[in-house]
Amino acid sequence: MSFEAFEQTLTANDPPRFSVYLTALWYDGKGDWEKAHDLINDLNGGTAAWVHAYLHRKEGDTGNARYWYHRAAKPFPDLSLQEEWQEIVKALP
């Protein structure tokens, strides 16, 4: 799915069948940070850590975000939150 197609799904009430990572980003894109965090919170692996890092950065918890970026083997980004959200969405299948 293209980024543009993903973005268009944000007008729906419920997410399409996505991976849990994209579903978390879908909820975040809808403004539901709590739901996004709940979906990703207990998952392991680099992708989960990357999404988790982004969410904590968005929350304003820089220390926690840095921890999760380290777990994801990603540098702390020098992007806006919107740019990072787009980057992650585009990087996921």
CA 82/CA 76 separation, integer angstroms: 15
Ramachandran area for residue 73 (φ above 0: left; ψ -120 to 50: alpha; else beta): left
Q: What is the pLDDT of residue 1?
A: 83
CA 50/CA 90 separation, integer angstroms: 13
**Please, what is the average pLDDT of the chain?**
97
Tell me the mean pLDDT in the region 61-87.
Answer: 97
Please answer whether residues 51 and 35 qualify as being in contact, where contact means their C-beta atoms are separated by less than 8 angstroms. no
pTM of the model: 0.95
Q: Which amino acid is at 26?
A: W
